Amino acid sequence: MSKKIPVQKNDYIEVDFQDLTHDGAGVAKVDGYPIFVPGGLPGEKATIKVIKVNKGYGFGRLMEIVERSEFRVDIKAEDAPKYGGCQLEHVSYEGQLKYKENQVKQVLTRIGKLEDVKVHPIIGMENPWHYRNKAQVPVGEKDGQLISGFFKPRSHEIVDTNENVLHIHEINEAVQAVKEIARELRIKPYDEDSHKGVLRHIMARYGRQTEELMVVIVTRTKEIPHQAKLIAEITARLPKVKSIVQNVNSKKTNVIMGDQTDVLWGNEVIYDFIGDVQFAISARSFYQVNPEQTKVLYEKALEYANLSGDESVIDAYCGIGTISLFLAQKAKNVFGVEIVAEAIEDAKKNASLNNITNAEFAVGEAETVIPAWYKEGNSADVLVVDPPRKGCDEALLNTIIEMKPKKVVYVSCNPATLARDLRILEDGGYQTLEVQPVDMFPQTTHVETVVLITRVN
């Protein structure tokens, strides 16, 4: 017998919000039936309109707040376009940090069944605005005018804006300058429906330490009308630009970048630092978007690894080797594994850029490469994992349990899969010692956590 659903579509009801979902919507329960309401905050009472009723859960629209959370902040309607990409713009920063810290604590108990593990207070940013060193801005047309900004959530309508509170100012300036130049030169914006026009996306990347700027123009056609003038204007208006790159994407697709990338002016890469480690960043390479907090996170990982210089370290899911190169400075040797071949190319280049000779990198699945490596008789003293949202593959966790490294340092972008994996490691003879959440992405719901796990016997 299925339980009767206590609400109907178009009902107006008063609810209490108890929780936030991982994408920032308020959760209210009516006789145990959950209703997700964007904008609702835990501790608030509000009137909502029920807009969708599914079997196990429903959706509502926030109508009027009856009791307000102390963490709610109001944003003026005219400022709303500046908050593209922020899911928590209606929550004070103090409230955001509290919410993220609680989320980590809750899943460790609920999913990980870790009862008395120590969770340190989350490390936030002193200034949680204008931190992103990269923007990818869609271009379109409205009322005959080229516009650029961000897609309205769950839609393909572009909101036109020049400022985004998440982007570093230099990034906002770069995007705005390219947009204005494109308007002046009457370069046609790309139209998704007809698959015509030229300019699809404006991208910008910025090395905060080096103050080097890269502009990437994503176009449908290789030809750009007035290309020489476009370049001349970009270099004149953006003195920090070191690299102007074109990426051609002639496909009818939502994927931003195409296969062809050409340098139009200047260098192929810009440089930046995380701590003392230097990175070369090309138009396509992965690079952390908040280097300031990345440094905080990786310094914690390094502290937890507590290296003396004699250790062999494995860095699974190593990307472009950010953590590997950080650890190599203190370890005997580091072995990094990553599934994307281009990222491994970058990792090797970054190792030589920094004269690091004790780091080796291999392309492949962590859950295949590391077990094979172990079967050949290799082992590690410390194993670092930094997996994508779905967490570690079970085959990798089983190899860790057999290999018995003294320490595992787990860097996680998803507390739920972290908690699941910690349970597996605990059942395999490990103990979770320290848990440190770090806020890498203020104003969004993302939480990063670094965890120290040690072998019990």
Contact residue for ligand SAH among 7, 65, 339, 424 (CB under 6 A)? 339
Measure the N-to-C terminal CA separation of the chain; round to a whole number of Å: 49
- Would you call 102 helix, strand, or coil by DSSP? helix
Nearest residue to 173 via CA among 238, 254, 223, 251: 238
Is 86 a catalytic site residue?
Answer: no
Structure tokens at 350: 């970054």
- Tell me: does residue 224 bind ligand SAH (CB under 6 A): no
CB proximity list for 404: less than 8 A, separation 6 or greater: 429, 455
| CB 361, min distance to ligand SAH, A | 11
- Tell me: does residue 343 bind ligand SAH (CB under 6 A): yes
Q: Which stretch binds ligand SAH (CB under 6 A): 17-25, 207-215, 306-314, 382-390?
A: 382-390
Q: Report the b/e string of 121-158 with b at 16+ CB within 10 A.
A: ebbbbeebeebbbbbebbbbeeeeebbbbbeeeeeeeb
| CB 343, min distance to ligand SAH, A | 5
Q: Which of 86, 318, 392, 413 is the catalytic position? A: 413
Report the site for ligand SAH in 229-248 (rule: CB under 6 A): none
- Tell me: does residue 424 bind ligand SAH (CB under 6 A): no
| CB 166, min distance to ligand SAH, A | 19
Phi, psi dihedrals of residue 181, rounded to the nearest 5°? -65, -45
Closest residue to ligand SAH in the complex (CB):
319
| DSSP-derived pairing of the beta strands 382-385 and 312-316 | parallel
| CB 366, min distance to ligand SAH, A | 4
| DSSP-derived pairing of the beta strands 212-219 and 241-248 | parallel
| CB 260, min distance to ligand SAH, A | 22
Helix (H) or strand (E) holding 63: strand 58-67
Q: Is the separation of the CB atoms in 408 and 437 below 8 Å?
A: no
Contact residue for ligand SAH among 44, 89, 272, 338 (CB under 6 A)? 338
The interface mask with ligand SAH, positions 308-327, x = CB under 6 A, is ---------xxxx-xx----
Report the residue number, 101 or 367, with the smaller CB distance to ligand SAH. 367
Report the residue number, 48 or 323, with the smaller CB distance to ligand SAH. 323
| DSSP-derived pairing of the beta strands 25-30 and 33-38 | antiparallel
Question: In sequence order, what are the beta bridge partners of 271?
Answer: 280
| CB 218, min distance to ligand SAH, A | 22
Report the site for ligand SAH in 261-300 (rule: CB under 6 A): 288
Q: Which stretch binds ligand SAH (CB under 6 A): 76-84, 169-177, 381-389, 443-451?
A: 381-389
Number of residues that bind ligand SAH (CB under 6 A): 19
Cite the beta strand spans of 143-294 per DSSP E: 145-151, 158-160, 199-207, 212-219, 241-248, 260-266, 270-274, 277-281
Report the residue number, 44 or 367, with the smaller CB distance to ligand SAH. 367
Q: How many beta carbons lie within 10 A of that of residue 204, not counting itself?
A: 26
Report the site for ligand SAH in 388-417 (rule: CB under 6 A): 388, 393
Provide the binding-site residues for ligand SAH, judged by CB under 6 A: 288, 317-320, 322-323, 337-340, 343, 365-367, 386-388, 393
By annotation, the residues acting in catalysis are: 413
